[in-house]
Amino acid sequence: MNKPVVEVKVRAVLPTAAGRAVFLGNDAKSFVIYVDDVVGTAITMLMSGVHKERPLTHDLMGNLMAALGAKVERVVINDLKTATYFARLIVSAENELQARKIIELDARPSDGIALAIAQHAPIYVTREVWEEVEDMSEILRKMAEESNEEGDEGTGGGEGEEH
């Protein structure tokens, strides 16, 4: 994948009627990906460093990759079709049997984001998608203010399809 990209960070994970809104962006712009509660919760827990009694799915995936000598290099949200986002998970693997190998996998953006956060890997959006998405910075600001007024930290979470 050699398309121009823009680096983004998770700016907030806020509850919605149908799950969670994951706001991604930088100082210039923010956009939203809607996910269900399970993945949203996982993203929130990973961002907060919450200790879990047992590993969640994303913890298991990270542990499995580490055991195999692999790690997430980056996640790229690379397409947007009919209000659904698509992503690629770029993984590097190196162990005593093989030289370094780069693996590119199809992934739901929410899963890619969770794994990137868990492994402190960067998240990118292709320039094409970046220019297509609506700037939600002002809506994020207003939602965060409302959440703070209600005493909500504004970082609840969930799992599901990205829209």
CATH of the domain at 89: 3.10.690.10
Within a domain: 161:
no
Number of folded domains that form the chain: 1
pLDDT at 10 > cutoff 70: yes
Q: Which two tokens stand for residue 136?
A: 């939600």
Provide the pLDDT for residue 159.
39
pLDDT at 72 > cutoff 90: yes
Helix (H, G, I), strand (E, B) or coil at 122: coil
pLDDT digits (tens, 9 = 90+) for 129-154: 999 999 999 988 887 787 777 764 44
Within a domain: 154:
no
Within a domain: 157:
no
First to last CA, the chain: 22
**69 and 93 Cβ atoms separated by less than 8 Å:** yes
Within a domain: 80:
yes
Within a domain: 160:
no
Instruction: Please give the radius of gyration of the chain, using alpha carbons only, rounded to the nearest integer.
Output: 16
Does residue 99 or residue 109 have the better pLDDT?
A: 109
pLDDT at 109 > cutoff 50: yes
- Residue 147 buriedness (CB in 10 A; 0-12 / 13-18 / 19+): middle
- Residue 122 buriedness (CB in 10 A; 0-12 / 13-18 / 19+): middle
Bridge partners, residue 102, by sequence: 92
Distance between CA 41 and CA 105 in Å, rounded? 23
Question: Residue 8's pLDDT band (boundaries 50, 70, 90)?
Answer: very high
Distance between CA 74 and CA 83 in Å, rounded? 23
Q: Which two tokens stand for residue 91?
A: 């993984």
Distance between CA 23 and CA 85 in Å, rounded? 13
**20 and 125 Cβ atoms separated by less than 8 Å:** no
Within a domain: 23:
yes
Supply the range of the domain harboring residue 32: 5-149
pLDDT digits (tens, 9 = 90+) for 115-129: 999 999 999 999 999
**What 8-state DSSP symbol labels residue 36?**
-
Provide the pLDDT for residue 56.
86
Within a domain: 63:
yes
Within a domain: 156:
no
**For strand 123-126 and strand 70-81, is the pairing parallel, antiparallel, or unpaired?**
parallel
pTM score above 0.75: yes
Q: How far is CA 79 from CA 44, 82, 85, 136, 162, in A?
A: 24, 10, 6, 18, 12
